[in-house]
Amino acid sequence: GDSVTQMEGPVTLSEEAFLTINCTYTATGYPSLFWYVQYPGEGLQLLLKATKADDKGSNKGFEATYRKETTSFHLEKGSVQVSDSAVYFCALMIKAAGNKLTFGGGTRVLVKP
Amino acid sequence: DTEVTQTPKHLVMGMTNKKSLKCEQHMGHRAMYWYKQKAKKPPELMFVYSYEKLSINESVPSRFSPECPNSSLLNLHLHALQPEDSALYLCASNDGTFGGGSTYNEQFFGPGTRLTVL
């Protein structure tokens, strides 16, 4: 079946540090890939997305590139802020599978001043 | 309006109570979803409605009963829950034309209802 694996946290960083969260996937079809962010006490917000190989999603200084050859979609940000402290979920969706989202386990990121 | 709203924000109920969670969206989306999220875990899909018809039930116990009265509203009726059902319940929607429409179908999530079963 389809699955998403992402690095376990928590990841603790200082402000202005570089952030990378690894995400790899296995899928029977051709998935769309997403990063969602969940701030404490809130629902999920879409952070960025990519629908085909070599697409780069970007938003709020975060970037991720759809790498079909390595089945990866790693999230990066060059300089994190305290406000980036949250849980980040990598997810895939295959349209033929009823638009079901398959999530990774989530990575908690804590940015300290 | 790109918002999914959920009420109530918090709910505490006893095991013999009957309560309902409500979700609403006005984006014209035709697919709506219920997820259950336990602490420090990703959301788990419970139900999917497409064009107001139940299309996916992920083997959810019958003490959870979904209802889609119209294309903008989604309810989750709760009865005889167990303490282990305590969780954050998330609603989501997308333009979910299965097999058609855009190449991806972003799901928009609501803020959730935090449920505690005593």
Judging contacts by C-beta atoms under 8 Å, the chain A residues touching residue B87 are none
pLDDT, residue B65, reads 97
A8–chain B Cβ distance below 8 A for any pair: no
B69–chain A Cβ distance below 8 A for any pair: no
Residues of B (47-66) whose Cβ lies below 8 Å from A: 48, 55-56
Judging contacts by C-beta atoms under 8 Å, the chain B residues touching residue A100 are 45, 48, 56
pLDDT at A112 over 60: yes
pLDDT tens, residue by residue, A30-87: 899 999 999 988 899 999 999 889 999 999 999 999 999 999 999 999 999 999 999 9
**Which residue from A43, A52, A104 is facing B42, i.e. has the nearest CB?**
A104
Which H/E stretch holds residue B46?
strand B44-50
pLDDT tens, residue by residue, B57-97: 999 999 999 999 998 999 999 999 999 999 999 999 988 55
A100–chain B Cβ distance below 8 A for any pair: yes
Question: Distance between CA atoms of A111 and A90, rounded to whole angstroms?
Answer: 19
End-to-end CA distance of chain A: 41
Output the CA–CA distances (angstroms, integers) from residue A92 to A81, B13, B64, B71, in the order listed. 27, 34, 26, 25
**Which residue from A34, A45, A106 is facing B42, i.e. has the nearest CB?**
A106
A42:B31 CB<8 A: no
pLDDT tens, residue by residue, B4-51: 999 999 999 999 899 999 999 998 888 999 999 999 899 999 999 988
B41:A105 CB<8 A: yes
A95–chain B Cβ distance below 8 A for any pair: yes
Which of B4, B44, B104, B113 best probes binding to A when mutated, by most A CB atoms within 10 angstroms?
B104
- Taking one residue from A and the other from B, the number of pairs with CB-CB distance under 8 angstroms is 63
B31, two tokens: 């697919």
pLDDT, residue B33, reads 94
pLDDT, residue A63, reads 98
pLDDT, residue B95, reads 80
Which residue is listed with tokens 């420090």?
A: B40
Q: Chain B closest CA to A81's CA: distance in Å?
A: 22
**What letter would DSSP give residue A84?**
G
pLDDT at A97 over 70: no
Q: CA triplet B45, B37, B12: central angle to 5 degrees?
A: 120
Q: How crowded is residue B87: how many other Cβ atoms within 10 Å of its Cβ?
A: 20
